[in-house]
């Protein structure tokens, strides 16, 4: 579900889908979320309370019952119901209601990767005994329970007694599909079915079973069992495993045919917290919204309030800035980066010159040579779209020239591999003018080359009367010189909702990740591709998110008492900033946050920036939420926002962002560090990497801790008479060290308005200049795959 490089990286999010009830002649009812804050005092009476609220705008018990979609009461209060705009507006004005918003439709945004992060197969053997007590909840497209990744063969310990979840039955799924590894599996179809109708027919199971592969992939990445000799038909062969192999997994299916509604997402969050999960991984996203009109932000707030760590994918809309989603400060927002492995498929021309392309090409051509043609040169003159033949767009080429030939196609439009395959073609050489760092599976032999190699290939075609070529199967290459880079598709900051909170928080491997797959799902996403596999290689922030979940589970197995904010801080302050001025790293922390996770270092960070519900409540005051609203959200009945409104920049966050500075700068912030080092007695000294042209002072400059969990605060002041006009943003760092631990916080300052920074950053990236992709349907692809494949145009995008 997350294949990169094949498509446009941007995917529109369908917002509110209408339901069928007609009010008069004009207004239709749609599913809305009525959010009422913290969990009710009497959860067993919650549904009755919600029905009374509905009764004030609906007529009769039958209409109230028919309207209700979900009742939320375990970790927060509220319900989902079919309402008209007028009815929703009336409820929003009622006492005790925080927000009312339409239930929008969100989308789903590995052998080598854990080795790359320093968690070898042997390092997991050093897990504390509590590792098997960690429970990871995964909100996704379900799970394929027969996968070896969910085997409990090496988990002799019984299921933790605190577990309250269950395995529900449905299409091709029963409670017997669960075991000591996969301890829970639930489904949440109500919101989807209210929008789109009953879940029936091929391509989906109305049960926790995963028909798409995405959910199995993310769950096994986070906490899958060790599986030796895993590969995609020989590619990436090795031991596939999760970050914490002994962790338990609970699958919460909220996505159906690739679509995930707010109503279903909130129901899953509510149930997961009640079931007793320790962590939640959510590789789902839509467009950024106000925090309490966003199902993931709401669900995550109350999960974190109950001690549950939540990680979410940043999205696949890069490299444009201000595209990061899931930006609430209480959850961990994850970008995607590459690792030290790539998959190359060589192209050999009739003149014996080889060219090395990138692809997940597992199909061998049956003959040594095939005619080589350019899609642009074999245009179908009668087609109104003939000028798009270079993209091998459907109907634009002379089909007799395609048959039994290898065709050179430019990426960006339609699905060239599917078009060539349908016409009887032998293979495709795909030209990508933007990025050649991500491998994709195609429905026929295919290799992706850059524009420079494409010029030589086209020159050869024009130099001979009978050009021929061969495309060789891919090989796996591990190269230490392949330094991690922010993936081109990974969504960038700044945080469009609260610019003074740096997002994304962190990056993790999200390019060419091997993990469990549903054997009924297409490998390439094409309906004509009938190959079946238990493991697949895909890419996206959907893949990086469960890496952070797995790393957080690893840290929690050593420190079960740590709060979600402490674990997040440990991961962020021990992360490694990505090197320098590489092509897709030049937007720095806006792309990768604090840097690449280092799970083993995060188990001993020395100091953490901790935060709890009180800190987040003050943060909400800084966003101009009223005391009454914060009381409802937090459950603190006596809470009042201070007379002097707190600054959001003073949230005790592990990174520092100062946004939209105009003219001179004079800004002070406060942070508090908690000593979690193994030695209670230690002194930390600050090292300042000042942003260019900015004077930074920290007081005090050293912190002496003489007891475990002691908390000490410091102030940092940032001053400048003027900021360098040529800089898009200014970056630096504050680092505290005691000689053993290094506690690093990135500092990001930008002196420009939204328009200025957007223009300057995006101007540095090449433009594709290709027409709008063809609309189509491809339910077997995750949104990650669709958005990313679209860049190369290898399959139709379902908009």
Burial group, residue 484, by CB count within 10 angstroms (0-12, 13-18, 19+): buried
Structure tokens at 119: 């968690």
Euclidean distance between CA atoms 515 and 537, whole angstroms: 7
Q: Are 385 and 396 in contact (CB under 8 A)?
A: yes
Residue 304: Cβ within 10 Å count: 26
542 given a catalytic annotation: yes
Euclidean distance between CA atoms 746 and 658, whole angstroms: 11
Q: Are 487 and 315 in contact (CB under 8 A)?
A: no
Q: Choosing from 109, 214, 217, 547, which is the catalytic residue?
A: 214
β-partners of residue 658 are: 749
Q: Choosing from 295, 542, 655, 780, which is the catalytic residue?
A: 542
Euclidean distance between CA atoms 94 and 111, whole angstroms: 52
Q: Choosing from 39, 67, 113, 140, which is the catalytic residue?
A: 140
Q: Are 231 and 514 in contact (CB under 8 A)?
A: yes
Euclidean distance between CA atoms 54 and 244, whole angstroms: 44
β-partners of residue 135 are: 248
Q: Which residue's structure tokens are 């338990």?
A: 248
Structure tokens at 6: 């094949």
Euclidean distance between CA atoms 325 and 492, whole angstroms: 9
Structure tokens at 28: 């239709």
β-partners of residue 714 are: 671
Q: Which residue's structure tokens are 């922390």?
A: 589
113 given a catalytic annotation: no
Main-chain phi, psi angles of 473, to 5 degrees? -60, 150
Which segments of 574-709 does DSSP mark as H helices, in order?
A: 589-592, 599-602, 613-622, 627-634
**Closest-CA residue to 578 (of 588, 570, 569, 565):** 588
Euclidean distance between CA atoms 397 and 555, whole angstroms: 55
**Closest-CA residue to 242 (of 374, 314, 135, 372):** 135
Q: Which residue's structure tokens are 């290799």?
A: 447
Q: What does the DSSP assignment read for 543-585?
A: HHHHHHHHHHHHHHHH-TT--HHHHHHHHHHT-BPPPTT-TTT
b/e burial code for range 161-199 (CB count within 10 A of at least 16 → b):
eebebebbebeebeeebbbbbbbbbbbbbbbbbbbbeeb
140 given a catalytic annotation: yes
How remote is the C-alpha of 76 from its chain's centroid? 24
Task: Show Cβ contacts of residue 605 under 8 Å, excluding neighbours closer than 6 positions.
Answer: 569, 570, 573, 574, 676, 741, 743
* Dihedral sign of CA atoms 238, 239, 244, 248 in order: positive
Q: What is the number of alpha carbons within 13 Å of residue 123 lying toward its C-beta?
A: 18
**Closest-CA residue to 304 (of 278, 334, 327, 326):** 278
How remote is the C-alpha of 364 from its chain's centroid? 33
Q: Is the peptide bond before 564 cis (omega within 30 degrees of 0)?
A: no
Q: What does the DSSP assignment read for 721-755?
A: SS--TT-S-EEEEEEEE-SS-EEEEEEEE--S-HH
Q: Annotated catalytic sites, by residue?
A: 140, 214, 542
């Amino acid at each position: 579900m997350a294949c990169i490089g094949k498509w446009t990286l941007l995917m529109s999010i369908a917002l509110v889908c209408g339901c069928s009830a007609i009010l008069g002649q004009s207004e239709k009812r749609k599913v809305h979320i009525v959010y009422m804050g913290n969990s009710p005092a009497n959860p067993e009476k919650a549904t009755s309370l919600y029905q009374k609220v509905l009764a004030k705008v609906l007529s009769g018990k039958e209409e109230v019952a028919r309207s209700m979609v979900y009742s939320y009461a375990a970790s927060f209060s509220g319900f989902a119901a079919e309402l008209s705009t007028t009815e929703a507006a009336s409820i929003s004005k009622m006492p005790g209601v925080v927000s009312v918003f339409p239930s929008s439709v969100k989308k789903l945004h590995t052998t080598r990767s854990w080795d790359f992060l320093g968690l070898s197969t042997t390092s997991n053997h050093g897990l504390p005994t509590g590792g098997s007590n960690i429970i990871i909840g995964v909100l996704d497209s379900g799970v394929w329970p027969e996968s070896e990744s969910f085997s409990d063969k090496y988990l002799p310990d019984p299921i933790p007694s605190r577990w309250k979840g269950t395995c529900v039955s449905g299409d091709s799924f029963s409670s017997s599909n669960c075991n000591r590894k996969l301890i829970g599996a639930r489904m949440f179809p109500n919101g989807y079915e209210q929008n789109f109708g009953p879940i029936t027919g091929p391509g989906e199971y109305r049960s926790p079973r995963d028909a798409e592969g995405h959910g199995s992939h993310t769950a096994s990445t986070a906490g899958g069992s060790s599986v030796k000799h895993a590969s995609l038909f020989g590619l990436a062969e090795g031991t596939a495993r999760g970050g914490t192999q002994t962790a338990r997994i609970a699958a919460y299916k909220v996505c159906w045919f690739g679509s995930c509604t707010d109503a279903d997402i909130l129901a899953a969050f509510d149930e997961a917290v009640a079931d007793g999960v320790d962590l939640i991984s959510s590789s789902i996203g839509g467009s950024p919204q106000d925090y309490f009109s966003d199902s993931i932000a709401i669900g995550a707030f109350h999960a974190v309030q109950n001690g549950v760590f939540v990680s979410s994918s940043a999205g696949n809309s890069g490299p444009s800035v201000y595209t990061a989603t899931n930006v609430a400060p209480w959850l961990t927002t994850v970008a995607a980066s590459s690792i030290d492995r790539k998959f190359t498929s060589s192209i050999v021309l009739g003149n014996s010159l080889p060219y090395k392309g990138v692809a997940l090409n597992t199909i061998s051509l049956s003959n040594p040579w095939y005619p080589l043609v350019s899609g642009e040169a074999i245009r179908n003159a009668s087609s109104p779209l003939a000028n798009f033949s270079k993209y091998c767009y459907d109907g634009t080429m002379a089909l007799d020239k395609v048959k039994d030939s290898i065709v050179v196609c430019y990426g960006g439009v339609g699905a060239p591999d599917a078009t060539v395959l349908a016409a009887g073609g032998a293979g495709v050489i795909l030209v990508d003018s933007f990025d050649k760092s991500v491998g994709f599976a195609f429905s026929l032999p295919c290799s992706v080359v850059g524009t420079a190699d494409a010029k030589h290939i086209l020159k050869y075609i024009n130099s001979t009367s009978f050009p021929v070529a061969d495309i060789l199967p891919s090989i796996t290459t591990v190269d230490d010189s392949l330094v991690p880079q922010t993936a081109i598709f990974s969504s960038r900051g700044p945080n469009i909702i609260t610019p003074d909170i740096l997002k994304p928080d962190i990056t993790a491997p999200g390019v060419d990740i091997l993990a469990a797959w549903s054997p009924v799902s297409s490998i390439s996403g094409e309906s004509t591709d009938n190959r079946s596999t238990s493991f697949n290689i895909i890419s996206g922030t959907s893949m990086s998110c469960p890496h952070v979940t797995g790393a957080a589970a690893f840290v929690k197995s050593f420190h079960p008492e740590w709060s979600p904010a402490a674990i997040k801080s440990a991961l962020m302050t021990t992360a490694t900033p990505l090197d320098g001025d590489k092509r897709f790293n030049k937007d720095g922390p806006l792309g990768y946050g604090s840097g690449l996770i280092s799970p083993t270092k995060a188990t001993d960070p020395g100091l953490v920036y901790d935060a709890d519900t009180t800190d987040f409540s003050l943060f909400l005051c800084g966003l101009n939420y009223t005391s009454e609203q914060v009381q409802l959200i937090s459950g603190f009945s006596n809470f009042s926002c201070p007379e002097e409104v707190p600054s959001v920049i003073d949230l005790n966050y592990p990174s520092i962002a100062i946004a939209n500075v105009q003219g001179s700068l004079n800004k002070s912030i406060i942070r508090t560090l908690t000593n979690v080092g193994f030695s209670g007695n230690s002194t930390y000294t600050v090292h300042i990497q000042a942003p260019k042209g900015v004077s930074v002072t920290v007081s005090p400059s050293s912190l002496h801790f003489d007891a475990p969990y002691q908390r000490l605060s410091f102030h940092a002041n940032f001053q400048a008479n003027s900021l360098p006009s040529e800089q898009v943003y200014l970056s630096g760092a504050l680092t505290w060290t005691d000689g053993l631990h290094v506690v690093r916080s990135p500092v990001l300052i930008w002196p420009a308005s939204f328009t200025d920074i957007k223009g300057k950053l995006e101007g540095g990236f090449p433009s594709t200049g290709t027409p709008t992709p063809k609309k189509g349907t491809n339910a077997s692809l995750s949104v990650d795959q669709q958005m990313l494949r679209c860049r190369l145009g290898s399959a139709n995008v379902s908009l």
